[in-house]
Amino acid sequence: MVNDVFCIGLIFSRDQYRYRAYARQYVEALLRLQKEIALFSPNWLELNHFLQVQFKDQAKRIHCFPIEETHEGDANVGNPNLIWRYLSLSRKLHQAERSINTKIDFVFFAPVDDWIKPKFATKMMDWAFPFKWSGILTHMLPYDPAGLKLNVDPKFGEPDYLFTSKNCVGVCTLDRFKSEALRSRVYKKVVVMPDVSEYGLPAKPQKITGQIRKMAKDRMVVGTILLENENPENFLDLANTAPADSYFFVCAGSIEPEFLSEKAKQSLNTLLGSGKNNIYFILHQLELSEDINDLLQTFDVCYLNDGHFQMPHPLLTKAAYFNKPVVGSKNDMIGKLLSAFKTGITVNGKISESVNALSTLRLQMPFERNFDLGKLRNYAQLQNQDALRDAWESLLFF
């Protein structure tokens, strides 16, 4: 049976760069599908301003509302608190329906992890949250080979049990490598969502981007941008070790002591006290996509830190779009994607491997002649707006 889904509630209850970018891109894809959108976000005022300007010809179909921010681990709340959260969200959705004079036909959680827990009855959820729903499942470790038993129905107490809810129409994932394992358990539609990104540039390049190229001179610029509390330990070690006459390092983003390992703190102190002239820090969090993209364009190579990512790194799609080869950890999702799509070189955390990776890439400069940029373009195309629209069409066909 096909339901005529017209109005979609988008729940972006984590206020991180990744989800702000997804919110903008999802709205664009849904507008292209002629849908009406009720978007809920802690950052709703800023999103509303951006969307109303960006899509002013269709602004009447975009409605933004506030919602409390959630964090990783919030799904571990007790059952009474989770019931209250469902009832509270249902009330907000019904209030939004009255405000826009339209029924919300479908609700999408990004991510859904904050709204499910193992020991919570499906009947209780269906009662407290009477909307058709789906969402992005980001915690995919249970679908490792040594994890949940495949080809069986989820049982009460297992992390994917609530996907058996009668109102759940399917599950989305950013992990294309475990989608079949997920599908074998939920026996519902599983959609791999593209890791969409934004590529706009500022009206005028930032002064710092020109300064970086001047400071680098003829050295390879190796840059990293900290967006999701990654640990820059390997990058800092690499900047301490690699020849200063061959490489210029750029590290942008807030470096918070609570997110640094002891080894990273030591590496940072060593670097700051070294007197080297081939490292540049931008010690504040970059929030605007235009500024991030502008800075990324100054890099020759994009370095992705080890963050034990179960999702694609937020810079991976950007790097592919701007034709920047990547060096990244082989120990998480970054490594799987780099190995599969050949958009860079994977390393295992040993500094010698990272130095060798840079040497290999340096020998391939200029990349437009010696690196297969077609691999980068292929990956970027797999994550573009057309792919996102196709994913949404598949999800909404139920």
What is the 3-state secondary structure of 148-186? CCCCCCCCCCCCCHHHHCCCECEEEECCCCCHHHHHHHH
Q: Are residues 269 and 335 in the same domain?
A: yes
Q: Are residues 26 and 143 in the same domain?
A: yes
- Tell me, what's the pLDDT at 2? 44
Q: Are residues 182 and 227 in the same domain?
A: no
Q: Where are the alpha helices (DSSP H) in the chain?
A: 17-32, 44-54, 79-100, 122-128, 179-186, 207-216, 233-241, 262-272, 289-296, 314-321, 333-341, 351-362, 367-370, 373-382, 385-395
Alpha-carbon gap, residue 310 to 182, rounded angstroms: 14
Q: Are residues 247 and 149 in the same domain?
A: no
Q: Which are the contacts of 30, defined by CB distance < 8 A and separation ≥ 6?
A: 8, 37, 392
Which of 236, 224, 220, 235 lies closest to 315 in space, CA to CA? 224
Q: Are residues 118 and 223 in the same domain?
A: no
Q: Are residues 232 and 362 in the same domain?
A: yes
Does some domain include residue 96?
yes
Instruction: Tell me the residue range of the domain where 360 lies.
Output: 207-382
Q: Are residues 142 and 215 in the same domain?
A: no
358 to 44, 274, 285: CA distances (angstroms): 41, 21, 26
- Tell me, what's the pLDDT at 74? 61
Alpha-carbon gap, residue 111 to 104, rounded angstroms: 19
Q: Are residues 348 and 273 in the same domain?
A: yes
- Tell me, what's the pLDDT at 72? 64
- Tell me, what's the pLDDT at 308? 66
Q: Are residues 213 and 103 in the same domain?
A: no
Q: Are residues 90 and 187 in the same domain?
A: yes
Q: How many domains does the chain have?
A: 2
- Tell me, what's the pLDDT at 307? 64
The letter for the amino acid at 291 is D
Task: Give pLDDT < 70 ranges for the chain.
Answer: 1-3, 72-76, 307-308
